[in-house]
Amino acid sequence: MCGIFGIYPHKDAAELTCLGLYALQHRGEESAGIISRQGKKVHLHKALGLVSSVFNEKILRSLRGDLAVGHLRYSTTGSSNIKNTQPFYVKSKLWDIAIAHNGNLTNTLELSKELENRGALFQTTMDSEIITHLLAHSQKKDIKEAIVWALSKLEGAYSLVLMVNDTLIGARDTFGWRPLCLGKLDGAYVLASETCALDLINAEYIRDIEPGEIVFIKKDTIESIKPFKETKRAFCIFEYIYFSRPDSNIFCHNVYLARKKLGMQLANEFPIQADMVMPIPDSGVFAALGFAEVSKIPFEFGMIRNHYIGRTFIQPSQDLRDFRVKIKLNPLRDVLKGKEVILVEDSIVRGTTSRARLKTLRQAGVSKIHMRVSCPPLRFPCFYGIDFPTRKELIAAKHDLDWVRDFIGADSLEYLSLEGMLKAMPLAKENFCTACFTGEYPVNHTCHFSKTLLERSSRQST
Ligand code: 5GP
Ligand code: MG
Protein backbone atom coordinates (compact mmCIF):
# COMPACT_ATOMS: atom_id res chain seq x y z
CA MET A 1 0.00 0.00 0.00
CA CYS A 2 0.99 3.59 -0.41
CA GLY A 3 -0.45 7.05 -0.89
CA ILE A 4 0.44 9.20 -3.88
CA PHE A 5 -0.20 12.82 -4.79
CA GLY A 6 0.81 15.34 -7.46
CA ILE A 7 -0.06 18.90 -8.46
CA TYR A 8 0.87 21.22 -11.37
CA PRO A 9 1.06 24.15 -11.92
CA HIS A 10 0.47 25.79 -8.55
CA LYS A 11 2.58 28.35 -6.69
CA ASP A 12 2.01 26.48 -3.40
CA ALA A 13 2.64 23.05 -4.89
CA ALA A 14 4.70 21.60 -2.00
CA GLU A 15 2.43 22.93 0.77
CA LEU A 16 -0.65 21.55 -0.97
CA THR A 17 1.11 18.23 -1.52
CA CYS A 18 1.95 18.08 2.17
CA LEU A 19 -1.73 18.63 3.03
CA GLY A 20 -2.70 15.96 0.51
CA LEU A 21 -0.31 13.55 2.20
CA TYR A 22 -1.85 14.39 5.58
CA ALA A 23 -5.22 13.30 4.25
CA LEU A 24 -3.72 10.10 2.84
CA GLN A 25 -1.63 9.21 5.90
CA HIS A 26 -3.61 6.00 6.54
CA ARG A 27 -2.19 4.60 3.28
CA GLY A 28 1.35 4.53 4.63
CA GLU A 29 2.91 5.46 7.93
CA GLU A 30 6.43 4.35 7.27
CA SER A 31 7.89 7.25 5.31
CA ALA A 32 6.84 10.44 3.56
CA GLY A 33 8.42 12.48 0.80
CA ILE A 34 7.86 15.42 -1.55
CA ILE A 35 9.78 16.45 -4.63
CA SER A 36 9.22 19.84 -6.23
CA ARG A 37 10.40 21.41 -9.44
CA GLN A 38 11.32 25.04 -9.91
CA GLY A 39 12.45 25.81 -13.45
CA LYS A 40 15.17 23.26 -14.09
CA LYS A 41 15.92 22.74 -10.39
CA VAL A 42 14.40 20.06 -8.24
CA HIS A 43 14.10 19.98 -4.46
CA LEU A 44 13.51 16.76 -2.58
CA HIS A 45 12.82 15.97 1.05
CA LYS A 46 11.92 12.54 2.36
CA ALA A 47 12.38 10.68 5.61
CA LEU A 48 11.04 7.84 7.71
CA GLY A 49 8.05 8.77 9.84
CA LEU A 50 4.65 10.40 9.68
CA VAL A 51 3.94 13.47 7.55
CA SER A 52 3.75 15.61 10.71
CA SER A 53 7.26 14.64 11.75
CA VAL A 54 8.85 14.62 8.29
CA PHE A 55 7.81 18.14 7.23
CA ASN A 56 7.82 21.54 8.88
CA GLU A 57 7.38 25.07 7.62
CA LYS A 58 11.05 25.60 6.89
CA ILE A 59 11.35 22.40 4.90
CA LEU A 60 8.20 23.19 2.93
CA ARG A 61 9.51 26.67 2.12
CA SER A 62 12.64 25.09 0.68
CA LEU A 63 10.56 22.88 -1.63
CA ARG A 64 10.04 25.64 -4.15
CA GLY A 65 8.41 25.46 -7.54
CA ASP A 66 5.00 24.94 -9.09
CA LEU A 67 5.15 21.19 -9.66
CA ALA A 68 5.20 18.70 -6.77
CA VAL A 69 4.87 14.97 -6.27
CA GLY A 70 4.34 13.32 -2.89
CA HIS A 71 4.46 9.79 -1.55
CA LEU A 72 3.65 7.83 1.60
CA ARG A 73 5.11 4.41 2.03
CA TYR A 74 3.71 1.28 3.60
CA SER A 75 6.16 -1.46 2.81
CA THR A 76 4.79 -4.96 2.76
CA THR A 77 8.03 -6.82 3.35
CA GLY A 78 11.45 -6.20 4.85
CA SER A 79 12.59 -3.47 7.15
CA SER A 80 12.06 0.25 6.85
CA ASN A 81 14.96 1.80 5.07
CA ILE A 82 15.61 5.39 4.12
CA LYS A 83 16.86 4.28 0.70
CA ASN A 84 13.46 2.81 -0.06
CA THR A 85 11.55 6.00 0.51
CA GLN A 86 9.78 7.80 -2.33
CA PRO A 87 9.44 9.88 -4.45
CA PHE A 88 12.39 8.16 -6.04
CA TYR A 89 14.40 10.58 -8.14
CA VAL A 90 16.94 9.98 -10.92
CA LYS A 91 18.46 12.05 -13.67
CA SER A 92 19.07 10.35 -16.99
CA LYS A 93 20.59 11.74 -20.16
CA LEU A 94 17.28 13.09 -21.33
CA TRP A 95 15.16 13.27 -18.25
CA ASP A 96 14.68 14.22 -14.68
CA ILE A 97 12.43 11.48 -13.38
CA ALA A 98 10.63 11.31 -10.05
CA ILE A 99 8.25 8.50 -9.27
CA ALA A 100 5.56 7.87 -6.65
CA HIS A 101 4.11 4.38 -6.95
CA ASN A 102 1.22 2.57 -5.27
CA GLY A 103 0.80 -1.10 -6.05
CA ASN A 104 2.98 -4.10 -6.55
CA LEU A 105 4.58 -5.23 -9.78
CA THR A 106 4.58 -8.96 -10.43
CA ASN A 107 7.30 -9.30 -13.08
CA THR A 108 9.93 -7.53 -11.04
CA LEU A 109 12.47 -10.30 -11.11
CA GLU A 110 12.62 -10.74 -14.86
CA LEU A 111 12.65 -6.99 -15.49
CA SER A 112 15.41 -6.31 -13.00
CA LYS A 113 17.53 -9.14 -14.40
CA GLU A 114 17.04 -7.86 -17.93
CA LEU A 115 17.97 -4.32 -16.88
CA GLU A 116 20.99 -5.47 -14.87
CA ASN A 117 22.23 -7.37 -17.89
CA ARG A 118 22.06 -4.09 -19.77
CA GLY A 119 24.13 -2.37 -17.11
CA ALA A 120 21.54 -0.90 -14.79
CA LEU A 121 22.73 -0.32 -11.23
CA PHE A 122 19.91 -0.45 -8.74
CA GLN A 123 20.04 1.87 -5.75
CA THR A 124 17.07 0.49 -3.85
CA THR A 125 15.16 -2.73 -3.38
CA MET A 126 11.87 -1.21 -4.53
CA ASP A 127 10.01 -2.54 -7.52
CA SER A 128 9.20 1.09 -8.42
CA GLU A 129 12.82 1.83 -9.27
CA ILE A 130 12.49 -0.47 -12.25
CA ILE A 131 10.12 1.98 -13.90
CA THR A 132 12.74 4.73 -13.81
CA HIS A 133 15.34 2.42 -15.36
CA LEU A 134 12.93 1.40 -18.08
CA LEU A 135 12.37 5.06 -18.91
CA ALA A 136 16.08 5.77 -18.98
CA HIS A 137 16.69 2.73 -21.20
CA SER A 138 13.76 3.34 -23.53
CA GLN A 139 15.78 4.95 -26.38
CA LYS A 140 12.75 7.10 -27.11
CA LYS A 141 13.19 10.84 -27.27
CA ASP A 142 9.53 11.66 -26.81
CA ILE A 143 8.21 11.52 -23.24
CA LYS A 144 4.92 9.99 -24.27
CA GLU A 145 6.55 7.25 -26.30
CA ALA A 146 9.02 6.50 -23.52
CA ILE A 147 6.30 6.24 -20.87
CA VAL A 148 4.10 4.03 -23.01
CA TRP A 149 7.04 1.77 -23.77
CA ALA A 150 8.11 1.57 -20.11
CA LEU A 151 4.61 0.89 -18.80
CA SER A 152 3.99 -1.71 -21.50
CA LYS A 153 6.75 -3.77 -19.89
CA LEU A 154 5.08 -3.85 -16.48
CA GLU A 155 2.87 -6.56 -15.06
CA GLY A 156 0.94 -6.22 -11.84
CA ALA A 157 -0.53 -3.26 -10.04
CA TYR A 158 0.45 0.34 -10.42
CA SER A 159 -1.11 3.68 -9.80
CA LEU A 160 1.60 6.20 -10.54
CA VAL A 161 2.33 9.86 -10.20
CA LEU A 162 5.45 10.82 -12.11
CA MET A 163 7.38 13.96 -12.77
CA VAL A 164 9.31 13.75 -16.02
CA ASN A 165 11.03 17.06 -16.71
CA ASP A 166 8.27 19.66 -16.59
CA THR A 167 5.41 17.22 -17.11
CA LEU A 168 3.26 15.74 -14.34
CA ILE A 169 2.04 12.29 -15.30
CA GLY A 170 -0.66 10.08 -13.80
CA ALA A 171 -1.12 6.45 -14.81
CA ARG A 172 -3.11 3.41 -13.75
CA ASP A 173 -2.63 -0.20 -14.87
CA THR A 174 -5.30 -1.67 -17.13
CA PHE A 175 -6.81 -3.76 -14.31
CA GLY A 176 -7.16 -0.74 -12.04
CA TRP A 177 -6.26 -2.48 -8.77
CA ARG A 178 -5.35 0.74 -6.95
CA PRO A 179 -7.36 3.96 -7.05
CA LEU A 180 -6.22 7.28 -8.54
CA CYS A 181 -8.29 10.39 -9.08
CA LEU A 182 -7.97 13.70 -10.86
CA GLY A 183 -8.96 17.06 -9.42
CA LYS A 184 -8.54 20.75 -10.12
CA LEU A 185 -7.61 23.70 -7.94
CA ASP A 186 -7.01 27.30 -9.05
CA GLY A 187 -6.39 26.11 -12.61
CA ALA A 188 -3.89 23.44 -11.47
CA TYR A 189 -4.48 19.73 -11.91
CA VAL A 190 -4.22 17.43 -8.92
CA LEU A 191 -3.65 13.68 -8.82
CA ALA A 192 -4.37 11.76 -5.62
CA SER A 193 -4.90 8.21 -4.42
CA GLU A 194 -8.20 9.14 -2.80
CA THR A 195 -10.69 11.99 -2.97
CA CYS A 196 -10.23 12.82 0.74
CA ALA A 197 -6.96 14.49 -0.31
CA LEU A 198 -8.84 16.71 -2.79
CA ASP A 199 -11.39 17.63 -0.12
CA LEU A 200 -8.76 18.87 2.29
CA ILE A 201 -7.25 21.32 -0.19
CA ASN A 202 -10.65 22.34 -1.59
CA ALA A 203 -9.85 20.92 -5.00
CA GLU A 204 -12.73 19.98 -7.23
CA TYR A 205 -13.02 16.29 -8.07
CA ILE A 206 -13.07 15.86 -11.83
CA ARG A 207 -12.98 12.11 -12.37
CA ASP A 208 -11.02 8.94 -11.72
CA ILE A 209 -8.00 8.16 -13.85
CA GLU A 210 -9.32 5.19 -15.78
CA PRO A 211 -7.71 1.76 -15.86
CA GLY A 212 -5.07 1.83 -18.60
CA GLU A 213 -5.14 5.61 -18.86
CA ILE A 214 -2.11 7.91 -18.81
CA VAL A 215 -2.54 11.66 -18.36
CA PHE A 216 0.16 14.19 -19.22
CA ILE A 217 -0.24 17.48 -17.41
CA LYS A 218 1.72 20.43 -18.73
CA LYS A 219 1.57 24.07 -17.77
CA ASP A 220 -1.45 24.85 -19.92
CA THR A 221 -2.67 21.50 -21.17
CA ILE A 222 -3.78 18.07 -20.11
CA GLU A 223 -3.68 15.17 -22.50
CA SER A 224 -5.05 11.71 -21.91
CA ILE A 225 -4.17 8.54 -23.78
CA LYS A 226 -5.20 4.90 -23.44
CA PRO A 227 -2.51 3.11 -25.40
CA PHE A 228 -2.90 -0.41 -24.00
CA LYS A 229 -5.21 -3.22 -24.93
CA GLU A 230 -8.13 -3.31 -22.51
CA THR A 231 -8.17 -6.07 -19.92
CA LYS A 232 -10.79 -7.04 -17.41
CA ARG A 233 -11.12 -4.76 -14.41
CA ALA A 234 -9.82 -5.83 -11.04
CA PHE A 235 -10.50 -3.07 -8.54
CA CYS A 236 -9.24 -4.08 -5.12
CA ILE A 237 -12.31 -4.91 -3.05
CA PHE A 238 -10.25 -4.60 0.11
CA GLU A 239 -9.96 -0.84 -0.53
CA TYR A 240 -13.70 -0.71 0.23
CA ILE A 241 -13.55 -3.17 3.12
CA TYR A 242 -10.64 -1.73 5.03
CA PHE A 243 -8.02 0.32 3.33
CA SER A 244 -9.41 3.58 1.98
CA ARG A 245 -10.73 6.36 4.16
CA PRO A 246 -14.51 6.25 4.66
CA ASP A 247 -14.85 9.87 3.55
CA SER A 248 -13.25 9.08 0.18
CA ASN A 249 -14.96 8.11 -3.01
CA ILE A 250 -12.88 5.47 -4.71
CA PHE A 251 -13.71 3.73 -7.96
CA CYS A 252 -16.36 6.51 -8.19
CA HIS A 253 -18.30 5.46 -5.07
CA ASN A 254 -18.27 6.37 -1.41
CA VAL A 255 -16.42 4.11 0.98
CA TYR A 256 -18.48 4.83 4.11
CA LEU A 257 -21.71 3.83 2.40
CA ALA A 258 -20.13 0.66 1.01
CA ARG A 259 -18.90 -0.34 4.49
CA LYS A 260 -22.28 0.34 6.05
CA LYS A 261 -23.90 -1.85 3.42
CA LEU A 262 -21.46 -4.66 4.22
CA GLY A 263 -22.68 -4.47 7.83
CA MET A 264 -26.33 -4.48 6.75
CA GLN A 265 -25.75 -7.54 4.61
CA LEU A 266 -23.94 -9.21 7.52
CA ALA A 267 -26.95 -8.64 9.77
CA ASN A 268 -29.24 -10.10 7.10
CA GLU A 269 -27.09 -13.19 6.74
CA PHE A 270 -26.52 -13.89 10.41
CA PRO A 271 -29.32 -12.44 12.52
CA ILE A 272 -28.80 -12.79 16.26
CA GLN A 273 -30.19 -11.22 19.42
CA ALA A 274 -27.93 -9.48 21.92
CA ASP A 275 -27.81 -6.41 24.16
CA MET A 276 -25.78 -4.26 21.82
CA VAL A 277 -23.88 -4.03 18.57
CA MET A 278 -20.39 -2.66 19.02
CA PRO A 279 -17.47 -2.16 16.64
CA ILE A 280 -13.80 -2.72 17.06
CA PRO A 281 -12.81 0.91 16.45
CA ASP A 282 -12.09 2.52 14.14
CA SER A 283 -12.19 0.23 11.16
CA GLY A 284 -15.21 -1.81 12.35
CA VAL A 285 -17.42 1.23 13.08
CA PHE A 286 -19.12 1.59 9.70
CA ALA A 287 -20.13 -2.04 9.27
CA ALA A 288 -21.34 -2.04 12.89
CA LEU A 289 -23.62 0.93 12.12
CA GLY A 290 -25.15 -1.00 9.24
CA PHE A 291 -25.52 -4.11 11.37
CA ALA A 292 -27.27 -2.16 14.15
CA GLU A 293 -29.61 -0.42 11.70
CA VAL A 294 -30.82 -3.69 10.20
CA SER A 295 -30.94 -5.71 13.40
CA LYS A 296 -32.54 -2.85 15.39
CA ILE A 297 -30.20 -3.60 18.26
CA PRO A 298 -28.66 -0.52 19.95
CA PHE A 299 -25.25 0.57 18.72
CA GLU A 300 -22.73 1.28 21.46
CA PHE A 301 -19.08 2.13 21.66
CA GLY A 302 -17.79 -0.51 24.04
CA MET A 303 -14.21 0.67 23.79
CA ILE A 304 -12.62 4.04 23.26
CA ARG A 305 -9.67 4.66 21.04
CA ASN A 306 -6.69 6.76 21.99
CA HIS A 307 -5.84 8.77 18.89
CA TYR A 308 -2.47 10.04 20.07
CA ILE A 309 -0.30 6.97 19.89
CA GLY A 310 1.50 7.33 16.59
CA ARG A 311 4.28 5.06 15.46
CA THR A 312 6.31 5.25 18.65
CA PHE A 313 4.39 2.39 20.16
CA ILE A 314 4.41 0.23 17.11
CA GLN A 315 7.11 -2.08 18.26
CA PRO A 316 7.90 -5.37 16.64
CA SER A 317 8.56 -7.35 19.79
CA GLN A 318 5.82 -9.65 21.02
CA ASP A 319 6.04 -8.52 24.68
CA LEU A 320 5.16 -5.01 23.68
CA ARG A 321 2.31 -6.03 21.44
CA ASP A 322 -0.17 -6.57 24.29
CA PHE A 323 0.77 -3.21 25.70
CA ARG A 324 0.15 -1.62 22.33
CA VAL A 325 -3.29 -3.17 22.10
CA LYS A 326 -4.08 -1.84 25.55
CA ILE A 327 -2.89 1.67 24.97
CA LYS A 328 -4.86 1.94 21.74
CA LEU A 329 -8.29 0.86 22.99
CA ASN A 330 -9.75 1.09 26.48
CA PRO A 331 -12.95 -0.85 27.25
CA LEU A 332 -15.94 0.89 28.85
CA ARG A 333 -16.57 -1.37 31.83
CA ASP A 334 -19.83 0.34 32.83
CA VAL A 335 -21.28 -0.20 29.37
CA LEU A 336 -20.03 -3.76 28.97
CA LYS A 337 -20.43 -5.47 32.33
CA GLY A 338 -22.72 -8.49 32.13
CA LYS A 339 -23.73 -7.72 28.53
CA GLU A 340 -24.04 -9.99 25.53
CA VAL A 341 -22.43 -8.16 22.61
CA ILE A 342 -22.29 -8.44 18.84
CA LEU A 343 -18.76 -7.39 18.00
CA VAL A 344 -18.33 -6.16 14.44
CA GLU A 345 -14.91 -6.14 12.77
CA ASP A 346 -14.06 -5.29 9.16
CA SER A 347 -11.66 -8.19 8.67
CA ILE A 348 -9.57 -10.82 10.41
CA VAL A 349 -6.09 -11.19 8.94
CA ARG A 350 -3.72 -12.88 11.38
CA GLY A 351 -6.22 -13.04 14.24
CA THR A 352 -3.79 -11.74 16.81
CA THR A 353 -5.30 -8.31 17.38
CA SER A 354 -8.82 -9.73 17.47
CA ARG A 355 -7.73 -12.21 20.11
CA ALA A 356 -6.22 -9.44 22.23
CA ARG A 357 -9.33 -7.25 21.91
CA LEU A 358 -11.65 -10.05 22.92
CA LYS A 359 -9.51 -10.81 25.95
CA THR A 360 -9.82 -7.16 27.02
CA LEU A 361 -13.59 -7.29 26.59
CA ARG A 362 -13.83 -10.44 28.73
CA GLN A 363 -11.76 -8.74 31.42
CA ALA A 364 -14.19 -5.84 31.29
CA GLY A 365 -17.01 -8.26 32.14
CA VAL A 366 -18.94 -8.97 28.92
CA SER A 367 -20.97 -12.17 29.24
CA LYS A 368 -20.99 -13.27 25.58
CA ILE A 369 -19.24 -12.17 22.41
CA HIS A 370 -20.70 -12.84 18.97
CA MET A 371 -18.03 -11.81 16.50
CA ARG A 372 -19.24 -10.76 13.05
CA VAL A 373 -16.78 -9.97 10.27
CA SER A 374 -17.78 -7.81 7.31
CA CYS A 375 -15.82 -9.78 4.70
CA PRO A 376 -15.24 -13.48 3.99
CA PRO A 377 -12.24 -15.37 5.41
CA LEU A 378 -8.95 -14.09 3.94
CA ARG A 379 -7.24 -17.18 2.59
CA PHE A 380 -4.88 -16.17 -0.20
CA PRO A 381 -1.98 -13.75 -0.43
CA CYS A 382 -2.32 -10.47 -2.28
CA PHE A 383 0.27 -9.94 -5.01
CA TYR A 384 -0.96 -6.48 -5.84
CA GLY A 385 -0.09 -4.39 -2.85
CA ILE A 386 -2.16 -5.30 0.22
CA ASP A 387 -0.21 -6.58 3.18
CA PHE A 388 -1.23 -10.25 3.04
CA PRO A 389 2.13 -11.62 2.07
CA THR A 390 1.92 -15.35 2.52
CA ARG A 391 -0.75 -17.94 3.18
CA LYS A 392 0.85 -19.06 6.37
CA GLU A 393 0.23 -15.71 8.02
CA LEU A 394 -3.47 -15.75 7.19
CA ILE A 395 -5.29 -17.47 10.02
CA ALA A 396 -8.23 -18.54 7.83
CA ALA A 397 -5.88 -20.14 5.28
CA LYS A 398 -4.72 -22.68 7.84
CA HIS A 399 -7.73 -23.13 10.12
CA ASP A 400 -11.47 -23.60 9.91
CA LEU A 401 -14.09 -21.33 11.42
CA ASP A 402 -14.41 -23.21 14.72
CA TRP A 403 -10.68 -23.13 15.28
CA VAL A 404 -10.53 -19.40 14.59
CA ARG A 405 -13.52 -18.78 16.87
CA ASP A 406 -11.77 -20.60 19.72
CA PHE A 407 -8.45 -18.95 19.02
CA ILE A 408 -9.85 -15.43 19.21
CA GLY A 409 -12.05 -16.44 22.16
CA ALA A 410 -15.53 -15.71 20.76
CA ASP A 411 -18.77 -17.51 21.66
CA SER A 412 -19.79 -17.40 18.02
CA LEU A 413 -18.09 -16.24 14.83
CA GLU A 414 -19.52 -15.56 11.39
CA TYR A 415 -17.99 -14.06 8.28
CA LEU A 416 -19.93 -12.32 5.51
CA SER A 417 -20.36 -14.57 2.47
CA LEU A 418 -18.57 -13.88 -0.79
CA GLU A 419 -21.90 -13.37 -2.56
CA GLY A 420 -23.09 -11.09 0.23
CA MET A 421 -19.95 -8.99 0.06
CA LEU A 422 -20.26 -8.58 -3.70
CA LYS A 423 -23.95 -7.76 -3.38
CA ALA A 424 -23.16 -4.96 -0.95
CA MET A 425 -20.68 -3.33 -3.32
CA PRO A 426 -21.61 -0.25 -5.34
CA LEU A 427 -20.26 -1.83 -8.55
CA ALA A 428 -21.01 -5.10 -10.31
CA LYS A 429 -18.90 -8.04 -9.22
CA GLU A 430 -17.05 -8.28 -12.56
CA ASN A 431 -15.19 -5.10 -11.63
CA PHE A 432 -13.43 -6.51 -8.60
CA CYS A 433 -10.35 -8.48 -7.67
CA THR A 434 -11.40 -10.87 -4.89
CA ALA A 435 -8.31 -13.09 -5.10
CA CYS A 436 -7.51 -12.80 -1.37
CA PHE A 437 -10.82 -14.54 -0.65
CA THR A 438 -11.10 -16.94 -3.57
CA GLY A 439 -7.58 -17.60 -4.84
CA GLU A 440 -8.84 -16.72 -8.31
CA TYR A 441 -6.28 -14.20 -9.49
CA PRO A 442 -7.26 -11.91 -12.37
CA VAL A 443 -4.10 -12.86 -14.24
CA ASN A 444 -3.02 -16.38 -15.07
CA HIS A 445 0.12 -16.72 -13.09
CA THR A 446 2.90 -18.95 -14.28
CA CYS A 447 5.43 -20.82 -12.13
CA HIS A 448 7.81 -18.04 -12.94
CA PHE A 449 5.44 -15.64 -11.30
CA SER A 450 5.44 -17.46 -7.99
CA LYS A 451 9.20 -17.56 -8.12
CA THR A 452 9.18 -13.79 -8.52
CA LEU A 453 7.03 -13.52 -5.45
CA LEU A 454 9.23 -15.80 -3.43
CA GLU A 455 12.09 -13.47 -4.15
CA ARG A 456 10.08 -10.46 -3.22
CA SER A 457 11.95 -10.01 0.03
CA SER A 458 14.86 -8.75 -2.04
CA ARG A 459 12.75 -6.32 -4.00
CA GLN A 460 9.97 -4.81 -1.98
CA SER A 461 6.57 -3.72 -3.05
CA THR A 462 5.18 -0.34 -2.24
P1 5GP B 1 -6.10 -9.46 13.25
O2 5GP B 1 -7.20 -9.74 14.24
O3 5GP B 1 -6.22 -10.27 12.05
O4 5GP B 1 -4.75 -9.53 13.90
O5 5GP B 1 -6.24 -7.94 12.83
C6 5GP B 1 -7.39 -7.51 12.19
C7 5GP B 1 -7.36 -6.02 12.15
O8 5GP B 1 -6.36 -5.58 11.24
C9 5GP B 1 -8.66 -5.45 11.68
O10 5GP B 1 -9.08 -4.51 12.65
C11 5GP B 1 -8.36 -4.75 10.39
O12 5GP B 1 -9.00 -3.50 10.39
C13 5GP B 1 -6.87 -4.58 10.40
N14 5GP B 1 -6.28 -4.77 9.06
C15 5GP B 1 -6.78 -5.40 7.99
N16 5GP B 1 -5.93 -5.36 6.94
C17 5GP B 1 -4.87 -4.67 7.34
C18 5GP B 1 -3.67 -4.26 6.70
O19 5GP B 1 -3.41 -4.53 5.54
N20 5GP B 1 -2.81 -3.53 7.48
C21 5GP B 1 -3.06 -3.22 8.78
N22 5GP B 1 -2.17 -2.51 9.47
N23 5GP B 1 -4.17 -3.59 9.40
C24 5GP B 1 -5.08 -4.30 8.71
MG1 MG C 1 -9.18 -2.55 12.51
Q: Do 136 and 180 belong to one domain?
A: yes
Is the shortest distance between the CB of 427 and ligand 1 below 6 Å?
Answer: no
pTM score, whole prediction: 0.94
The residue ranges of the chain whose pLDDT is under 50 are 77-78, 312-316, 447-452, 454-462
Q: Do 330 and 363 belong to one domain?
A: yes
Q: Strand runs (DSSP E) across 137-261, as ranges? A: 159-164, 167-172, 181-185, 188-192, 204-208, 214-217, 222-225, 235-236, 249-250, 253-254
Q: Do 222 and 261 belong to one domain?
A: no
Judged by its nearest atom, the ligand closest to the C-alpha of residue 357 is 1
Alpha carbon separation from 83 to 88, 220, 325, 409, 457 (Å, rounded): 9, 34, 30, 42, 15
Domain enclosing residue 393, as ranges: 249-441
Query: If you measure from the C-alpha of residue 353 to the centroid of ligand 1, how many angstroms do you get, rounded to a whole number?
Result: 8
Is the shortest distance between the CB of 386 and ligand 1 below 6 Å?
Answer: yes
Ligand 1 atom 9 nearest Cα = 347
Instruction: Name which of 380, 382, 373 is nearest 421 in CA terms.
Output: 373
Per DSSP, the residues of 266-313 read HHHHS----SEEEE-TTTTHHHHHHHHHHHT--B---EEE-S---GGG
Q: What is the pLDDT of residue 74?
A: 86
Which of 347, 379, 382, 404 for a ligand 1 pocket mutation test, highest count of atoms within 8 Å of Cβ? 347
Query: If you measure from the C-alpha of residue 283 to the centroid of ligand 2, how many angstroms do you get, rounded to a whole number?
Result: 4
Domains held by the chain: number: 2
Asked whether the bond before 442 is cis by omega within 30 degrees of 0, the reply is no
CB 106 within 8 A of CB 452: yes
Q: Do 405 and 257 belong to one domain?
A: yes
Query: If you measure from the C-alpha of residue 352 to the centroid of ligand 1, how many angstroms do you get, rounded to a whole number?
Result: 9
Q: What is the pLDDT of residue 461?
A: 45
d(CA 155, CA 384): 10
- How far, in whole angstroms, is CA 375 from its chain's centroid? 17
How many CA atoms within 13 Å lie on the side-chain side of 392? 0
Query: If you measure from the C-alpha of residue 353 to the centroid of ligand 2, how many angstroms do you get, rounded to a whole number?
Result: 8
Alpha carbon separation from 454 to 1, 168, 271, 459 (Å, rounded): 19, 34, 42, 10
Q: What is the pLDDT of residues 288-305, one digit of tens each?
A: 999 999 999 999 999 999
Q: What is the pLDDT of residue 444?
A: 79
**∠ Cα 345 350 356 (to 5°):** 65
Query: If you measure from the C-alpha of residue 431 to the centroid of ligand 2, how many angstroms do you get, rounded to a whole number?
Result: 25
**For residue 345, which atom of ligand 1 is closest to its CA?**
10
Q: Do 42 and 168 belong to one domain?
A: yes
Query: If you measure from the C-alpha of residue 251 to the centroid of ligand 2, how many angstroms do you get, rounded to a whole number?
Result: 22
d(CA 164, CA 151): 14
Q: What is the pLDDT of residue 70?
A: 98
Q: What is the pLDDT of residue 311?
A: 52
Say if 148 falls within a structural domain.
Answer: yes
d(CA 33, CA 99): 11
Is the shortest distance between the CB of 346 and ligand 1 below 6 Å?
Answer: yes
Which of 76, 178, 242 for a ligand 1 pocket mutation test, highest count of atoms within 8 Å of Cβ? 242
Q: What is the pLDDT of residue 81?
A: 79
Say if 406 falls within a structural domain.
Answer: yes
Q: Do 312 and 187 belong to one domain?
A: no
Q: Which helix (H) or strand (E) holds 238?
A: helix 237-238
Q: Do 368 and 230 belong to one domain?
A: no
Q: Do 298 and 413 belong to one domain?
A: yes
CB 281 within 8 A of CB 303: yes
What CATH number does the domain containing 95 carry?
A: 3.60.20.10
Q: Which of 2, 382, 433, 436 is catalytic?
A: 2
Asked whether the bond before 246 is cis by omega within 30 degrees of 0, the reply is no
Q: What is the pLDDT of residue 307?
A: 83
Say if 460 falls within a structural domain.
Answer: no
Q: Do 305 and 399 belong to one domain?
A: yes
252 is catalytic: no
Judged by its nearest atom, the ligand closest to the C-alpha of residue 397 is 1
Q: What is the pLDDT of residue 321?
A: 59
- 394 φ/ψ angles, rounded to the nearest 5 degrees: -90, 115
Q: Which of 234, 259, 280 is the last residue of a domain?
A: 234
Q: Helix (H) and strand (E) counts for the chain?
A: 18, 23
Say if 454 falls within a structural domain.
Answer: no
Judged by its nearest atom, the ligand closest to the C-alpha of residue 27 is 1
Q: Do 255 and 229 belong to one domain?
A: no
Is the shortest distance between the CB of 254 and ligand 1 below 6 Å?
Answer: no
Q: Do 221 and 158 belong to one domain?
A: yes
Which of 236, 353, 384, 415 for a ligand 1 pocket mutation test, highest count of atoms within 8 Å of Cβ? 353
Q: Do 229 and 157 belong to one domain?
A: yes
Is the shortest distance between the CB of 353 and ligand 1 below 6 Å?
Answer: yes
300 Cβ contact list (under 8 Å, min separation 6): 276, 277, 278, 335
Is the shortest distance between the CB of 324 and ligand 1 below 6 Å?
Answer: no
d(CA 379, CA 462): 21
**For residue 395, which atom of ligand 1 is closest to its CA?**
3
